Amino acid sequence: MLPGISDKKSYRALGVCAAFLLGTATLPASAEGPTLSEEAFESSKQLYFERCAGCHGVLRKGATGKGLEPSWKKTAKDGTVTEGGTLKLGQERLEKIISFGTEGGMNNFSDIMTEQEIKDMATYIMMEPPTPPEMSLEQMEATRKVYVEPADYPTEPLHGRNWENFFVVIERDVGKVAVVDGDTKEVLAHIPTGYAVHVLKASEHHSINEPENPGRFWYTMGRDGKMTKIDLWQNPENMLVAEVKIAYDARDVAVSGDGKYVIGGGYWPPHFAIVDAETMEPKKVVSTRGVNVDGEYVEESRVAAIYTTPHEPTWIVAVKELGQLWQVDYTDLENLQITKIDSAKFLHDGFFDPTGRYFQIAANASNKMVVVDTDDYKLEAMIDTGPLPHPGPGANWMDPNCGPVAGTTHLGEGLVTVWGNDPEGNPDKAWKICYEVETDGAGLFIRTHPESDYVWADQTKHPEPEVQQSVQVISKETGEIVETIQITEEEGNVAVHIEFNQDGSEVWVSKWNRATSKEPNGEIVIFDAKTLEEKARVKGLFAPTGKFNVYNRSNHVT
């Protein structure tokens, strides 16, 4: 389960995942098993989508989180049969797990769900899961809205600001994205998007077919499957130019190297959709259901990460439950060419090495980092790590002993794992662990900049407030923690996600308030990247989580 919003009325008003809530399964016909009132069932179904489906799956088959089916039976190769399920755990045990979390990385929900919500949720996950509907291209097209016609786009920035040092900031709990001027620290806009945006991507510098003005257009992907297009050259009030819904539950988005297409990946339905980048018109939808690396058919095989390959006219699409990376050639949509690369389960998020050739992605349930050669369309390596690697946007840097390296934090323990990633210049170090750093707590994100002497890691997944409210700074030279910085001591707040400004002189960290509020309740805390001293705070934000610097992201600066 992941933390999210609890203000159901506000998101129902926004129409969050309305179709999801019309799933074909309803209250069980029999009263012999666990039952809920119709109101409690619907409320729990919405709450499960908001907080639990991301880790445990819509059909509750499990992925990063454990399966939550009412009952299951597994037969091992030696014929041994194991049975389990939420019914076997029972109401009381489930309530405790939801309330207090687990050592495996699940948050406690005692401070963000009421006792009654926890009680109802425990009952709900002992009932058969609802099955949501599918979504066709025609249904996607019906959701498309154009607010500014492409013919009316400005030919130069209208605001006269240094837009390449803008930060696009996720305001998770209000379904918005803020635009912050990185030079002046002003909040320029709060742009309505989908619910709980997970990822934003821009057009990027590409080695082939360079798009016009990389970084100008940004595309968001909400948890509710709504994709929005943002034009940073517009005046703040007109930056939202178009939107379309491509799924009921989704996570990632990417722009083709030539800037012509945008791809969005669905958690449900398990598919990806390709839309016209200019008009947002849906062009193609492809199911990702299939046979996983263990030879089993998977109905809910979700799209986790999607990235544009810098050297090829392709996207790399991580199909989570299949344990496969699909390299999708976008040059001919009518005859789409897809190369399926087997790796490990369950694929989550990743990043490229500095050359742009190798994609490094976490298979967190397998405790591995997977490396794919996107120039040759093949698996390069799999690196064993600690439990549940989670690099987020990742980090690459130069190590004095191993040469070029990359690193990841872990959901399962306080650990940063560092490996060599230069097979050309340092083949004996490539795809081998260089060193590990024990941190105070499990984290979500790691980040650095070529101009920085340090690597920064958050500790958001640790259960103790003092730890989850701090970030740790690691020296590139020694591989040791040189500073632990307390971002906040306010109850209910955590430190999450790190991003550098354009020239690498500043580090921005989110102070995220987990409680939903109709008033601004979060901040971004800014530090001097060399002295590690606090410089400023950006206030007036609603639960800021991820933030993305325009120049760094469109130029592959990690």
Q: So which residues are the catalytic ones? A: 52, 55-56, 106, 348, 390
Q: Where are the alpha helices (DSSP H) in 125-232?
A: 137-143
CA distances 361 to 302, 319, 386, Å, are 15, 12, 14
Per-position b or e across 356-382, b if 16+ CB within 10 A of its CB: bbbbbbbbbbbbbbbbbebeebebbbe
Cis preceding linkage at 351, omega within 30: no
* DSSP tag of 476: T
Longest dimension (CA), the chain: 69
Residue 327: strand pairing partners: 316, 339
Closest to 216 measured CA to CA, from 291, 177, 261, 166? 166
Residue 461: strand pairing partners: none
| Residue 339, CA atoms < 13 Å, CB-side half-sphere | 17
Q: Please write down the long-range contacts of 66-69, taking CB distance under 8 Å and 24 or more positions apart.
A: 68/125, 68/129, 69/129
Cβ(382)–Cβ(368) below 8 Å: yes
User: 3-state class of 173 per DSSP?
Assistant: helix
Number of Cβ within a 10 Å radius of residue 71: 12
* DSSP tag of 85: -
- The Cα 159–Cα 231 span in angstroms is 12
How large is the C-alpha radius of gyration of the chain?
22
* DSSP tag of 430: B
The residue count of the chain comes to 558
Residue 338: strand pairing partners: 328
Cis preceding linkage at 269, omega within 30: yes
Q: Please write down the long-range contacts of 23-28, taking CB distance under 8 Å and 24 or more positions apart.
A: 23/130, 23/131, 23/132, 23/133, 24/130, 24/131, 24/132, 24/133, 25/128, 25/129, 25/130, 25/131, 26/130, 28/127, 28/128
Strands annotated E in 281-342 = 282-287, 290-291, 297-298, 303-308, 314-319, 324-329, 337-342
Cβ(373)–Cβ(360) below 8 Å: no
